[in-house]
Amino acid sequence: MINTVIFDMDGLLVDSEPLWGIAMQEVFATVGVEISRELAAHTTGLRTTEVVDYWHDYFKWENKSTDQVTTEIVDTVTDKILTEGKSMEGLHYILDYFRQKDFKIGLASSSPMRLIQSVISHLDIKDYFQAVSSAEFEPYGKPHPAVYLACAQALHSSPLDCIAFEDSVTGMVAAKAARMKTVVVPEAHRRNDSRYALADLKLDSLLEFNDAMLARL
Positions annotated as catalytic residues are 8, 10
Task: Provide CB contacts within 8 A for 156, sequence distance 6+.
Answer: 104
CA distance 130 to 104: 7
Give per-residue burial for 80-99: e unless 16+ CB within 10 Å, then b.
bbeeebebbebbeebbebbe
Sign of the Cα torsion 14, 15, 20, 22 reads negative
In angstroms, rounded to a whole number, what is the distance separating the alpha carbons of residues 105 and 114?
Answer: 19
Q: What is the dihedral of CA 114, 117, 122, 127, to 10 degrees?
A: -170
Q: Is the dihedral of CA 116, 71, 146, 41 positive or negative?
A: positive
Whole-number Å distance between alpha carbons of 135 and 117: 14
